[in-house]
Each structure stands twice: as C-alpha cells, then as structure tokens.
Chains A and B, each alone.
Chain A
Amino acid sequence: MARKNSATTAIGKSAPRPDAYEKVTGGKGFTINLKLPGMLHARILRSPYPHARIRRIDTSRAEKLPGVKAVLTPKDVPQTKFSPVLFEPTLAATMVQDMLILSDRIRYAGEPVAALAATSVEIAEEALGLIDVDYEVLPAVFDPEEALKPGAPQLYETAPNNVAVGPVFSFGDIEKGFAEADYIFEGTYETQRVHTCYMEPRVCVADTDSRGRLTIWSSTQHIFGLREKLAFALGLPESQVRVMKPPYIGGGFGGKLDMGLHEPICALFSMKTRRPVRLEQTRYEEFISTTRNPIKMYLKTGVKKDGTFTARYAKSILDTGAHATHGAIVVMVHGFFGFLLPYRCENKKWEGCSVYTNNMVGGGYRGYGCPQGAFAVESQIDEICEKLKLDPVEFRLKNAHKEGDPHPFNPGFTLSTYRFEDCLVQGAERIGWSERKAAGSGRGSKKKGIGLATQPLWVSGCMGFPDIYEHSGAIVKLNVDGTADLAVATVDLGSGQIITLSQIAAEELTLSPDKVRVTAADTDTVPFDAPAHASRVTYSTGNAVKAAAASAKKRLLEVAASLLEASPEDVELVEGTVRVKGAPKKSMNIADVVKRAESPFLVMTAQGPQPTSVQEKGTIIGVSSMAPPSNPSPATAEFVEVEVDTETGEVDVLRVVYAHDIGRVINPQGAEGQVEGGFQQGMGFALSEKISFDQSNGACLSGDFLNYKMPTAPEMPTQIESIFIESNEPTGPFGAKSLAEPCVIVPAPAIANAIYNATGARVRQLPITPERVLAALGKL
C-alpha cells in the first residue's frame, strides 16, 4: 500500500470498508434477512382514532383463525410505565416514564391497540381484521400551542396543560442586556416533522430458550440499551435478556435509538409460545413511529452596532406528540446546543416547553434538537447582518468562542482544539464569498445566491451530560496468523465504524487496517458501550479501542521480550514486527509471537519434549472499559450556492462547501461520504420533507416515499466539497474528534440564507416549498 503519511500505518488513509464487499454482493448481515425454524410472524393492530379509551377488545374471532398462535391486548402485557429512550438509565430522574407496551388509552392515530402472532404474515394480517374493538372517542388536539391553552383536551393527568417538561435557564441579566443593545431583533421560526428514512425498516426476531431466557436480534442502534429497556418493561432481570448485535443495520440516524414496541411485543409472544417471533414494520408504520420533533422558536436578540450580542432570549415550543419519549431530552439539547451555548453572550435566557399533543411520537434524529435551533439562530444572524450591513463571517467570529476557552457546557473541560475561524475563512475562500452580491440584485427570473450557516459548538459524545451513559469498551485479540480481532458493542449504522475502529486498533498495533477484523458481539460477550449516537463513536469508542489495543500490545511485547531474551522495556513494535531496540535483527513478527503464546507448554522436538515458558502462555488479548477523558467540540461552517426560479418558487442547490474541524481525520473517504449524506438529509429538511397529517383525524398522509419527498440523485447538487481542518485533539484517539451531526444541522439555515441572498425574500418556516418562496416574494 502506498503510504501518504509515513508516520502512520492505518490512520488518515481511505482504507476500504471490509463490509463493502459483502454489501455489494447481497448483504446477508441485515436483521431483515434473519429466519429461524418454526418462526411466527407478529403484526400490530393500530388505532384509527387519535384520542380514545378502549372500552372492550374481543379477539375471539381472530383467535379462531387457523394459524393464529397468540394474541396480546392491554390486559396481557405488564402495565409498567417506561421511557423507550436507549441512552438514559431506566429510572433516571430526567426521563418521563409515560409509555406502556399496550394501553387501553390511545393518544395518537396509529398507536398500538393489540397484537397477534401467526404462522405467516398473511394470516396475521387477515386476523387483525377479526379483532373487534369498542372505542370511546375523545376530543383531540394537534397544535402544541392550542394544547397549552386552558380547556384543551388533556393527555395525561400527571401533566397539567399538556406540559411534558418545561425547562427554563437564565444567565446574566437579560433585561440589562436588552437595555444595552443598539438594536433588538425578533422573529419566529418553525420547523416541521421529518422522518429519519433509514432504508431498513425496524425489524426484530425474539426467541426464548427452554429455561425462558430471551434472545433478541434487532435493527437497533444500542444493544445494551435495548437489553435494559426490554428487561425493565417486561419485569425481567437484565441477565435474562440477550441482545445480539446486528452485523449491519440499514441506517439509523437516531431513528433506532429507542426501544420500539415491536421488540417487547415479539419478546412477549416468544415467551408465551416458546417459538421465535418476528416483526418487520411496514413503511407506513415507520413513518408514524419516529420523527424529528417540530419546534416553533420565538427569538429576541439584542446587538450592538458592531454586531456584539448583548442579550439573547428564546422560547421553544416542541411538539412531543402522544408520549414524551425523546422529546423530553431533545428539548434540552436544543436549548443548550441549539441556542444557549454556540455563541458568547453574557445575558441570555431560554424557556423550553415540550408539549403533549395527539400527534405521533417523536424520536432521535441526527442533530437532536439542533437543526431546529440552528435554523432559527443562523437565519436570524443573517437578518441582523443584512440590517446592520455586517459581514456574516466576521459577525460570527466576533461572537464565537476561542480555542483554549473553558468548554461552555462543562467548564471542567477545555476547548483544547477549536478551529472555528479556519472553518469560516477557508470555506469562505473556497466558495468565493468575497464575490457575493447584494441580496436580490441578480437580473432575470432565475437568481443565484450564496448563504452561510455554522454550528460553532458540538459534542463528541455525552461526557459531562446528566443522566446519559458515556462509557465504552473493547476487546482486541491477536490471532496466530498475525491478524487481530476487535469486538465492540457499538453498531455500525453505515457511517463506517467498522473501518474507522479497525484503523484505530491497527494503528496502535502497527498493522494495516485489513489485518483487523470486527467480530460478532452481543450483550453476553462484550463490555458495555453507549449507543452509536451523539457523534460519539470515533472519539469515545475509538479511545476504548485504542486502549484495548494498547493493552494487547503490552502483553505482546512482554511475551516477545521473553522469547527474544530481552526485557520488555527494550523491545518495540514496528510495522507488525517486535524487535530489540538497537538490534533490529533480533526480531519476531506478531504471528510468530502469538503462535508461541498459543502453543502447548511442551513442544515435541527431535531431542524429545521441550518445555517452553509458563510466562509466555495464553491468548494475547487486551480489554478496556472506560469513560472518555473529555468532550471536545468540533466546529462546522457551510456555504451553499442556490438558484431560485422566482417565477415558480423552485430552489436548485448548485454547490456546497463544508469546512469542518473534526480533529485528525481517520478515514478521509468515509468522512467525506458522511458529510455528503448529511447534506442530503439537511437539504430534504430544508426544502421538501414533511410528515403530514389530516388535521381532522390525525391520520398520516405521507406514509410512503411517493408522498414523502426525500431528495433523489438528480435533485442533489453535483458539487459537495469538504474541507477538513485537522486539529490534533490531545484527548482523542490519534487526535480525532467527531463528525456525524453538524453536517445535518447547518444545511437548512445555509439554504434559507442563500435563498435570501438570491432573492431578498426570507422564509422562516420549513420546508421552504415553492409556495412559501413565492409567498415571501409577494407573488401569492
């Protein structure tokens, strides 16, 4: 292999993903492909009403249908209330425990009412139609601001005025800040409900052994979280549940970051029938199972003439739907990372409110509350700059944190690497920012414009966050053929952890990445890892993988030193060979050391059985389980060029430039790919995607890909460029920080700002449809 960087064997190279070969030839490792002998198929009966009480369920006709093996109604399931969010401890004080596996109170159209398991999907579906349910229909409320008003239908007795959580945070003196301002800007910004659109539907198979122990295979982002939540909801000890890590999952993006109801339902059916039970959600079920929570944000901002913030106030109304689920936590991340923290300002106040409505439940989705926040904040900054005739690049730099500052969220940590300025300066130069024309100054009906948005502050995991798991573990085992096996609980959602973690282990062991193999894993066999979420895996799991590899390396050097008759301090590992320092001819490659360590104690030779050394014996293995040392912030700026047809209102994105400080880049091709995909999700959020509901009965109107418009290949810009500013994060594995989410957060405001620059028209509501563009232009 050609070495671009002679100082590394694995890091910083676009090593091909080992999973790619299997995926282009069929991809067996997806949960959707799993079949077990005697397997039953479960289906869920869902409520047609958005708000109702179930008076009576009669399943007798369904149970008589040949092939139906078991039925579940609310009275057949444990009535333990839980929160399905996978990354918080089961009974964390910050969690809102308001869900049941099946309940006799229905709070959204599509909420599960009953379930059954049959010998085929077809029989199960036919039997659903034979379940008779008597509903008492209740008045419903769909608009969160209506839900807050006195007299609105109440969803929970425990949540007066439908408030799930209502956090308020205040810093400095907000009134003084507004009094000191030369200008005050106010605006309302609204985002819509969008779906993560992972391509593999949620699917699981649950099986029970002869002693009642449960095993579950699921397309999930967190095997340990699923074990914990499933055990809790079913009233089982955690040791009675084993969750298998899916070799591959067909995307997640946060949408598989909670326990779905299909998982406990299959588990209960399997415990009841002692057979494997499978449930694959239909695409319609997917569209009503998880979403990015819509947020309406009221912003009021005070600035000096020179653009310095003097006061920042926001109120955020988040529609959490029928259950709190992620909505209770999304609102907090939104408040802090979407509003309070990204820029410096002494006086700031935020009032958040996560509101119950009779809409579908929310969920995790890349950015976790911050795409909604950034749309408001970054759009308003553009409005401020336009009014005060300030340069948006300089405005942001004036108010930004600086490298070396204490971390604004957790002052115990430092922004030890923070190259936000480089992101802005290099991105601006690449897009041609200095050539940007005045807003709406283009001639003709098709107008071009350039826009900028940033996510100045983000996370590399959840270290320092209350009630959120953040530790990782890994096992690295050396093989007699000189390769290494790497076992981790973390699931590769597609973003490439299989290769990046292999590269980290390989680098520590001075191997090429193809010598490391990520193995199968499950909750019985590997150390805990927090989920694949919060942009955390490269940094947090990467640190654990590096530590496990270092531990294996230490043992390797001990064994090799004994074999080479040297002391462990006098040997070194160089490109897969252990050698005595200063005597490179005295050396052994890894395979020979491992063979000796794994050999029998007595080795037969021509002279008879010869003993080897007891100290050399045993598998060379390294194990780690640890919390990461910090929570470094990446920095992101994005520049977008659009063309707006002012006759039709259509927006065409022509060119995109991203500049990221993500620390050391482990795999450049993988990093680019993640950014390009991030733009697609951000552009869909900006321009076309929306889960729509019939406002009279709560029925989903966009339950398939024909009515839910995610961007296709011809709609995407042909140029998406990535600049990576490689700071060397001292606490990261080989200098790495994180990447996953900011690239999804910034496109909507960047596009909105580019549309403004092209046309002079401001749209403050997503998605920015042609109708909204024409309305903003005064043409509708």
Chain B
Amino acid sequence: MKKILNLQVNGETHEIAVNPADTLLHVLREGLGLIGTKRGCDSGGCGCCTVLVDGKAVYSCMLLALSAVGKSIVTIEGLSTDGKLDPLQEAFIKAGAVQCGFCVCGMIISSKGLLMENPHPKEAEIRQALSGNLCRCTGYHKIVEAVRIASAHS
C-alpha cells in the first residue's frame, strides 16, 4: 500500500507516493528523477548513492524513504545554483579527479559533508571521510587533491 509523503530535497518540498519498502535512493532516482545519485550496489557498500541528510553524508540505499520525512536532503543536483558550480565540483574538474564519473557525485557529497563540518581537514581526515566511497578508476589520489583545493578556497 503506497503512502503519500513530503520529502524536502534540495530546498524544495516534493509530495510523492512511495511503498513502505522503498529506499530513499529508489525514490530519488525513480520518483524524482534525480539521477545524479547512482545505484552502484544497492547494498551499502560502494557509496555511489551518497546524499546529505541533515548535513550528514549517508548511503541513500540504506535509508527508507519513510524515515527521511522531515529531514533536509541534498543531492548532487542541489549543489550548483543557477549554473554556478560548488567549489568542490570545480575542484574535481580542475584536479582531474573525474574519470568514468560513476562514483563522483557520491564522492563530492561525502566531501561536502566533511567540509561543512571541518572546512580545513588534514589529508588523513579527507581520506577517512571518503572511506565509504569506492572508486575503481582514480586510486583516490586526485580526488583527495580536489578536496584539498576546495578546502583551501573555503
């Protein structure tokens, strides 16, 4: 039996019908068309589906949509405003941190969660904050560099 609920996503309220078992990832992608949040494993292992929930980076595949009611959700689509990229997005491009790009939205969201809490992290803190996000292309090297660049500009 579907339920109608209101989700706060990227500063807007969306009224949407969901099944009780639907994950937040499922509702973001299939319900709201926010396809920047990727489904890499659907089992809490890869981090491609990371979103901010009340400012904390979480796996949206591990959260039921029902439990996200009343919380502020930010996806990659919420980071750039009026075509202006977030400094993290700029830094990922500049540092060459994007290869296949499938993990990158989750990487940027986890990095955003980190910088909101700790604007000038040390390298070890950056690496720790990204430990839940897997990347198979970059070896993380230029991703860490991108976060460093963005933090220097914040």
Instruction: Tell me the chain B residues, 75-102 only, with Cβ under 8 Å from chain A.
Output: 76-77, 80, 85, 89, 92-94, 96-102
Cβ-defined contact, A250 with B76, below 8 A: no
Cβ-defined contact, A714 with B45, below 8 A: no
Chain B residues near A250 (CB, 8 Å)?
38, 40, 100-103
Chain B residues near A14 (CB, 8 Å)?
96
The answer, among A253, A494, A679, A714, for a CB contact under 8 Å with B124, is A714
Cβ-defined contact, B139 with A677, below 8 A: yes
Cβ-defined contact, B45 with A706, below 8 A: yes
Bound together, the chains give a CA A248 to CA B100 distance in angstroms of 7
Cβ-defined contact, B46 with A199, below 8 A: yes
Bound together, the chains give a CA A199 to CA B38 distance in angstroms of 9
Interface secondary structure of B, over-half rule: loop
Bound together, the chains give a CA A680 to CA B94 distance in angstroms of 21
Instruction: Tell me the chain A residues, 639-684 only, with Cβ under 8 Å from chain B.
Output: 669-670, 672-681
B67 within 8 A of A: no
Interface string of A467-501 (1 = CB under 8 A from B): 00000000000000000000000000111100000
Interface string of A713-757 (1 = CB under 8 A from B): 110101010000000000000000000000000000000000000
Bound together, the chains give a CA A705 to CA B45 distance in angstroms of 5
Bound together, the chains give a CA A318 to CA B48 distance in angstroms of 34
Chain B residues near A706 (CB, 8 Å)?
43-45
B130 within 8 A of A: yes
Cβ-defined contact, A704 with B43, below 8 A: yes
Least Cβ–Cβ distance between B34 and chain A, in angstroms? 8
B135 within 8 A of A: yes
Least Cβ–Cβ distance between B56 and chain A, in angstroms? 18
Cβ-defined contact, B76 with A26, below 8 A: yes
Cβ-defined contact, B42 with A20, below 8 A: no
Chain B residues near A248 (CB, 8 Å)?
100-102
Cβ-defined contact, A676 with B141, below 8 A: yes
Instruction: Tell me the chain A residues, 14-57 only, with Cβ under 8 Å from chain B.
Output: 14, 16-17, 19-28, 30, 32-33
Chain A residues near B99 (CB, 8 Å)?
494-496, 673-674, 677
Least Cβ–Cβ distance between A306 and chain B, in angstroms? 38
Cβ-defined contact, A713 with B131, below 8 A: yes
Instruction: Tell me the chain A residues, 559-607 only, with Cβ under 8 Å from chain B.
Output: none
The answer, among A16, A23, A676, for a CB contact under 8 Å with B139, is A676
B113 within 8 A of A: no
Q: Which of A200, A250, A716 has the most CB of B within 10 A?
A: A250
With CB as the reference atom, state the residue of chain A lying closest to B125.
A714
Chain B residues near A5 (CB, 8 Å)?
none
Chain B residues near A282 (CB, 8 Å)?
42
Cβ-defined contact, B127 with A710, below 8 A: no
Residue count of chain B within 8 Å CB distance of chain A: 52
Q: Which of A19, A704, A705 has the most CB of B within 10 A?
A: A705
Chain A residues near B96 (CB, 8 Å)?
14, 16-17, 669-670, 672-673
B144 within 8 A of A: yes
A409 within 8 A of B: no
A249 within 8 A of B: yes
Chain A residues near B126 (CB, 8 Å)?
713
Cβ-defined contact, A720 with B105, below 8 A: no
Chain A residues near B133 (CB, 8 Å)?
712-713
Chain B residues near A24 (CB, 8 Å)?
76, 85, 89, 92-93, 98, 101, 104-105, 108
Interface string of A165-199 (1 = CB under 8 A from B): 00000000000000000000000000000001111
Cβ-defined contact, B36 with A32, below 8 A: no
Chain B residues near A714 (CB, 8 Å)?
124, 127-128, 130-131
Cβ-defined contact, B48 with A20, below 8 A: no
B35 within 8 A of A: yes
Cβ-defined contact, A16 with B94, below 8 A: yes
Cβ-defined contact, B40 with A25, below 8 A: no
Cβ-defined contact, A283 with B142, below 8 A: no
A251 within 8 A of B: yes
Cβ-defined contact, B138 with A673, below 8 A: yes
Instruction: Tell me the chain A residues, 480-525 only, with Cβ under 8 Å from chain B.
Output: 493-496
Bound together, the chains give a CA A676 to CA B144 distance in angstroms of 12
Chain A residues near B124 (CB, 8 Å)?
714
Bound together, the chains give a CA A676 to CA B127 distance in angstroms of 15
Bound together, the chains give a CA A32 to CA B35 distance in angstroms of 9
Given A24-B108, A25-B85, A673-B137 contact (CB < 8 Å): yes
Cβ-defined contact, B128 with A27, below 8 A: no
A371 within 8 A of B: no
The answer, among B102, B128, B134, for a CB contact under 8 Å with A705, is B134
Chain B residues near A22 (CB, 8 Å)?
101
Cβ-defined contact, A712 with B105, below 8 A: no
Interface string of B13-53 (1 = CB under 8 A from A): 00000000000000000000011101111111110100000
Bound together, the chains give a CA A629 to CA B59 distance in angstroms of 49
Chain B residues near A196 (CB, 8 Å)?
136
Bound together, the chains give a CA A280 to CA B30 distance in angstroms of 14
Chain A residues near B54 (CB, 8 Å)?
none
Least Cβ–Cβ distance between A330 and chain B, in angstroms? 20
A449 within 8 A of B: no
Bound together, the chains give a CA A22 to CA B98 distance in angstroms of 10
Cβ-defined contact, A27 with B104, below 8 A: yes
The answer, among B34, B41, B42, B144, for a CB contact under 8 Å with A713, is B144
Least Cβ–Cβ distance between B81 and chain A, in angstroms? 11
Given A713-B143, A714-B124, A718-B123, A200-B43 contact (CB < 8 Å): no
Cβ-defined contact, A199 with B40, below 8 A: yes
Instruction: Tell me the chain B residues, 104-154 only, with Cβ under 8 Å from chain A.
Output: 104-105, 108, 123-124, 126-128, 130-144
Cβ-defined contact, B43 with A705, below 8 A: yes
Chain A residues near B101 (CB, 8 Å)?
19-20, 22-24, 27, 248, 250, 494
Bound together, the chains give a CA A716 to CA B143 distance in angstroms of 12
Bound together, the chains give a CA A675 to CA B39 distance in angstroms of 26
The answer, among B102, B128, B136, for a CB contact under 8 Å with A680, is B136
Least Cβ–Cβ distance between A349 and chain B, in angstroms? 37
Q: Which of B77, B127, B132, B133 has the most CB of A within 10 A?
A: B127
Least Cβ–Cβ distance between B76 and chain A, in angstroms? 6
Bound together, the chains give a CA A198 to CA B143 distance in angstroms of 17
Bound together, the chains give a CA A620 to CA B19 distance in angstroms of 55
Bound together, the chains give a CA A84 to CA B93 distance in angstroms of 36
Sample of 5 A–B contacts (CB below 8 Å): A20-B93, A248-B100, A251-B100, A713-B143, A716-B141
Which 4 pairs between the two chains have the least Cβ-Cβ distance? A494-B100, A705-B45, A250-B102, A23-B101
